[in-house]
Amino acid sequence: MSDQLSLDSIRSVLTRLEETIIFGLIERAQFRQNRAIYRRGEIWRELEGESLVGFLLHESEKSHAKVRRYTSPDEHPFFHDLPQPILPDLDYENPLQPNGININARIREAYEGEIIPFVCEPGDDRQWGSSSVCDVANLQNLSKRIHYGKFVAESKYRLQREQLWPLVWRGDAAALMDAITDAGVEQKVLDRVYRKTVTYAAEFEGSSCGHKINPEAVREIYRRWIIPLNKEVQVQYLLERVQD
Amino acid sequence: MSDQLSLDSIRSVLTRLEETIIFGLIERAQFRQNRAIYRRGEIWRELEGESLVGFLLHESEKSHAKVRRYTSPDEHPFFHDLPQPILPDLDYENPLQPNGININARIREAYEGEIIPFVCEPGDDRQWGSSSVCDVANLQNLSKRIHYGKFVAESKYRLQREQLWPLVWRGDAAALMDAITDAGVEQKVLDRVYRKTVTYAAEFEGSSCGHKINPEAVREIYRRWIIPLNKEVQVQYLLERVQD
């Protein structure tokens, strides 16, 4: 099996992404919710119909598309009008089946509408630019973590073809969700994420400034959004999978 | 005195920036040095003479300039051919004297040539895109931290006008460097940065993947580059200051 699909390799990518996600949330939590940066329309009429965060995310994706970020099988853009790469193609090893699964619209909705109020204190501190820069990074990190479900699903499929293929064939999403769910592993992830956040949000002499993140909030973000959306990507991917 | 110039406010900005800088270095340290991303020329001939990192930094600055990042007195671009803001001007409170001090060229040189070999393991893991994205954030964080010396210097000037003005008037850079140096405060910063990195680079079950940063390396980066360059900004700022 391709090295990218070994359970060890997948586990180590996902475990390392926890640091990236927690650091990013801690960074964002130092600022207020700043709802204005998610609003479209009059307030940002110069930004082509986008919010400040949407505008900066779009700009970031345009430049990353030029250097071929979205030709990598573990990267998924939020926008679909991106320029062609200006660098020559890389020969990525791609162990996935061709698929067009991309749930970034739902990730963005959940992040802006639900995760931000969960992580940041209410109100506006006018740190709009800094907050938006954090948001762009966080959205890209969450998207990577959640869409990594494709690798998880492909790996599980190859290991349990006989169990999974009949469910795929019947298009039985509920049974697939059941089959890919491992409550013990999920609990381990939640516990570890909590412990990590306790450590990273430690208080230091002189660090009283800025809101520190609540470790329960990070665990809850994993429980309510990251894990379920990741599993949904897995199920969608399996439902599209063809037999081999 | 303007709130931005109170020593408490400056200290809390700089202390909170330590987290941002340490998190960013830990993120970069999971990848190899990947020297290819700093090279210009043939390897990146599509990138208008820039390295991959330079290209992405330039693109980032172009989009941030459009949303007026560099009209803020605590932000300094690495490139000087940036577009005009498309958003209307904000009325920033700017307690600094007009000045054109920008040492980003030296920051970039130190970061790419000296800090990266200090933080990352040698070699190439082909994680070029991810490494470059970390580098763009790190360069912007370091630039902010180092140029904050302008606020420090203005604050010190207003508190010790009688002591500092004769040195400014004589253009005595060495005496100014002496006058702004507080070895005790520097040692406190170094100790705190070390302790923070020990905490943030903690080992967790299942986090063995990826190179963890060495806390001594982060302390050394503060000692050799961040603190001296910050002080140099202070001296340059004071030398340009006019009496009031």
Instruction: Report, as an integer, the average pLDDT of A38-66.
Output: 94
pLDDT at A205: 65
pLDDT in tens, A92-149: 789 999 999 999 999 999 999 999 999 999 999 999 999 999 999 999 999 999 999 9
Backbone angles phi, psi at B227, to 5 degrees: -65, -50
**Dihedral Cα A178, A179, A184, A187, nearest 10 deg:** -50
CA angle B202, B16, B119 (to 5 degrees): 45
pLDDT in tens, A133-183: 999 999 999 999 999 999 999 999 999 999 999 999 999 999 999 999 999
CATH number of the domain within which B185 lies: 1.10.590.10
Classify residue A73 by burial, with Cβ atoms within 10 Å: 0-12, 13-18, 19+. middle
List, as own/partner pairs, every contact residues B156-159 make where C-beta atoms lie below 8 angstroms and the sequence separation is at least 24, other chains included.
Answer: B156/B180, B156/B234, B157/B238, B157/B241, B158/B1, B158/B5
Q: How far is CA B134 from CA A232, B51, B69, B161, in A?
A: 29, 15, 19, 41
Q: How many domains does chain B have?
A: 1
**Chain B interface test: which of A17, A39, A60, A61 (most B C-beta within 10 Å):** A60
Question: Alpha-carbon distance B58 to B82, whole Å?
Answer: 8
pLDDT at A73: 94
User: Do residues B96 and B233 lie in contact, with contact meaning Cβ atoms separated by under 8 Å?
Assistant: no
Q: What is the pLDDT along chain B (244 residues), one digit of tens a residue?
A: 668 899 899 999 999 999 999 999 999 999 999 999 999 988 888 898 999 999 999 999 999 999 999 999 999 999 999 999 999 888 778 999 999 999 999 999 999 999 999 999 999 999 999 999 999 999 999 999 999 999 999 999 999 999 999 999 999 999 999 999 999 999 999 999 999 999 998 877 655 556 788 999 999 999 999 999 999 999 999 999 987 7
Flag if A59 and B55 touch (Cβ within 8 Å). no
pLDDT at A210: 65
Chain B residue numbers touching A19 (CB-CB < 8 A): 26-27, 207
Three-state SS at B97: coil
pLDDT at A208: 53
Q: Which of A16, A88, A137 is nearest residue B209 as measured by Cβ atoms?
A: A16
Residue tagged 């949407």 (tokens): A54
Tell me the pLDDT of chain A averaged across its residues: 94
Flag if A19 and B13 touch (Cβ within 8 Å). no
Flag if B69 and A137 touch (Cβ within 8 Å). no
pLDDT band at A67 (very low <50, low <70, confident <90, very high): very high
Q: ipTM of this model?
A: 0.94
Question: Alpha-carbon distance A124 to A121, whole Å?
Answer: 9
Which residue range is the domain that position B195 belongs to? 3-240
pLDDT band at A42 (very low <50, low <70, confident <90, very high): confident
pLDDT at B208: 53
**Chain A interface test: which of B6, B15, B42 (most A C-beta within 10 Å):** B15
Pairs across A and B, CB distance < 8 A: 110
Tell me the pLDDT of chain B averaged across its residues: 94
pLDDT in tens, B59-117: 999 999 999 999 999 999 999 999 999 998 887 789 999 999 999 999 999 999 999 99
Find the closest chain A residue to B91 by CA distance.
Answer: A126
Query: Does A207 have pLDDT greater than 70?
Result: no
Q: Which of B15, B30, B64 is nearest residue A207 as measured by Cβ atoms?
A: B15
Residue tagged 């923070």 (tokens): B196
pTM of the predicted model as reported, rounded to 2 decimal places: 0.96
Chain B residue numbers touching A27 (CB-CB < 8 A): 19-20, 23
